[in-house]
Amino acid sequence: MTLRHAPFEESWDFSIGLKPIAPDAWLEGGENDPAGRKAPLLRDHPQVVWGEAEGSRPAQAEAAALVEAALGLQGLAAEPPPLLAAALRVSDDLVLLERRDGVWRVTAVSLSAPTFFAATDVLGRSLAEIHGPVTGFSERFLARVERIFDSLRPDLILQRRNWSVVNSPEPFTPDPAPMRAKIPQIAPEAAAEALFLRVERQTLRRLPQTGAALFTIRVWLDPLSALAADPPRLAAFARAWRAAAADFRAYKRLPLYDELVASFLRAHGESHSVNAG
């Protein structure tokens, strides 16, 4: 098994990391029936997975038309709100942002793989408010990220990726507490199969007519055992785990997994120490 994305090869601290990608690389696809996964979540957790602000339908329709064009579809269902109809056709989660009251705010959001947040946490909120919990975001990144949103050209698609380690293969995790409560039950020798690399691939693009921004999130989950078959990547992961900045480790709760990851790395020939030197 090979990992599709390995952002730990290049990053072990918070970063903006937005880079241009080719237009035909926008959505990665590969899932047969996204609606089969997303529709039950909408039925069982409507407030967690969907929200729209008043006045967002024109930008939603423009976003949906872009998705339709990317998929080569004829026309999305007219019934649900347009961003939701589009989200049901793709693997990615879709977040629409519009400049309102002088700041970029989330005006519609469809989630199926949220990493520890819900639609109600972000709908109507600004980039500054959403990133309040991210250590150092307002000092280090906010002004630059707002400038990127302001100056984004319609012909440019940007991508960023992040990584973390979790103890569940479940993409739908609005709340990390139930998962984290199970960490003590994991035996060190089971770490390779019980721990997962959780990688988010996000894209950002401008909608030329309404001026809105469309942010996409796709989560990829692979057991640590996927690294075992790929020595260079295993080494890169071991390096990232050791080198990760202290506030990054604390924010992602990586210390909860230190013993298990150390055991995994030892079992696979990677000597390991965290914050030891």
The residue ranges that bind ligand HEM (CB under 6 A) are 14, 16, 95, 97, 106, 117, 122, 130-131, 133-134, 145, 160, 162, 204, 215
Q: How far is the CB of 263 from ligand HEM (least distance, A)?
A: 25
Q: How far is the CB of 226 from ligand HEM (least distance, A)?
A: 21
Quick one: 257 or 268, whose CB is closer to ligand HEM?
257
**DSSP helix/strand/coil, 131:** coil
Quick one: 36 or 133, whose CB is closer to ligand HEM?
133
Instruction: Supply 124's token pair.
Output: 């109507």
| Distance, CA of 276 to CA of 168 (rounded, Å) | 28
Cβ distance 12 to 248 under 8 Å? yes
Q: How far is the CB of 267 from ligand HEM (least distance, A)?
A: 28
Quick one: 89 or 201, whose CB is closer to ligand HEM?
201
Name the residue with the smallest CB distance to ligand HEM: 162
Q: How far is the CB of 242 from ligand HEM (least distance, A)?
A: 18
Residue 86: φ, ψ to 5° = -65, -45
| Distance, CA of 33 to CA of 163 (rounded, Å) | 25
Cβ distance 18 to 201 under 8 Å? no
| Distance, CA of 15 to CA of 85 (rounded, Å) | 32
| Distance, CA of 239 to CA of 192 (rounded, Å) | 17
CA distances from 188 to 168, 180, 204, 261, 267 (A): 15, 15, 39, 8, 10
Quick one: 80 or 136, whose CB is closer to ligand HEM?
136
Q: How far is the CB of 13 from ligand HEM (least distance, A)?
A: 9
